[in-house]
């Protein structure tokens, strides 16, 4: 059965929750629609995070990113939405998402948003 877009990010237990390590995923085929023109906007998304108790299952990430293909979002908005959903699902120590959007009208846009778990005293 073919895959479908989904807003659900599935997480699984981190096999090394006591180790601080970095994961970086590059998603070179991200698309969303310009909310002003309806034209497609293309980007490479880079997701960099330090897992804590969970890691994000990659097929669900692919389906999640696919869910933006037919939605209208400004670059700043969609990058922040993805970070917020990612942090909500995975609850990482650290996460940074960079949306490197292709040139449109002579302007390329790069948006970077960061989350850092607050230290608890």
Q: Which regions of the chain are under pLDDT 70?
A: 1, 119-121
At residue 120, the pLDDT reads 54
At residue 1, the pLDDT reads 63
Catalytic residue among 27, 41, 70, 100: 41
Report the sign of the C-alpha dihedral through residues 82, 59, 7, 34, in that order.
Answer: positive
Q: Which domains does the chain have, with CATH numbers?
A: 22-116 (3.30.1130.10)
Please answer whether residues 53 and 13 qualify as being in contact, where contact means their C-beta atoms are separated by less than 8 angstroms.
yes
pTM for the whole thing? Answer: 0.93
Report the sign of the C-alpha dihedral through residues 111, 66, 74, 9, in that order.
Answer: negative
At residue 108, the pLDDT reads 95
At residue 121, the pLDDT reads 47
Q: In the annotation, is 53 catalytic?
A: no
Instruction: Name the residue among 63, 120, 121, 69 with its Cα closest to residue 89.
Output: 63
Q: In the annotation, is 34 catalytic?
A: yes
Question: What is the largest distance, in Å, between two alpha-carbon atoms of the chain?
Answer: 49
Catalytic residue among 34, 53, 77, 100: 34
């Amino acid at each position: 059965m073919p895959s479908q877009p989904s807003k659900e990010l599935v997480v699984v237990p981190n096999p090394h929750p006591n180790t601080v390590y970095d994961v970086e995923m590059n998603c070179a085929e991200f698309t969303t629609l310009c909310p002003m023109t309806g034209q497609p906007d293309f980007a490479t998304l880079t997701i960099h995070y330090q897992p804590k108790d969970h890691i994000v299952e990659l097929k669900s990430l692919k389906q999640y990113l696919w869910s933006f293909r037919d939605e209208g979002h400004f670059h700043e908005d969609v990058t922040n939405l993805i970070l917020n959903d990612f942090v909500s699902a995975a609850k990482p120590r650290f996460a940074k998402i960079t949306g490197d959007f292709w040139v449109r009208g002579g302007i390329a846009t790069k948006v970077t948003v960061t989350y850092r778990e607050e230290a608890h005293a």
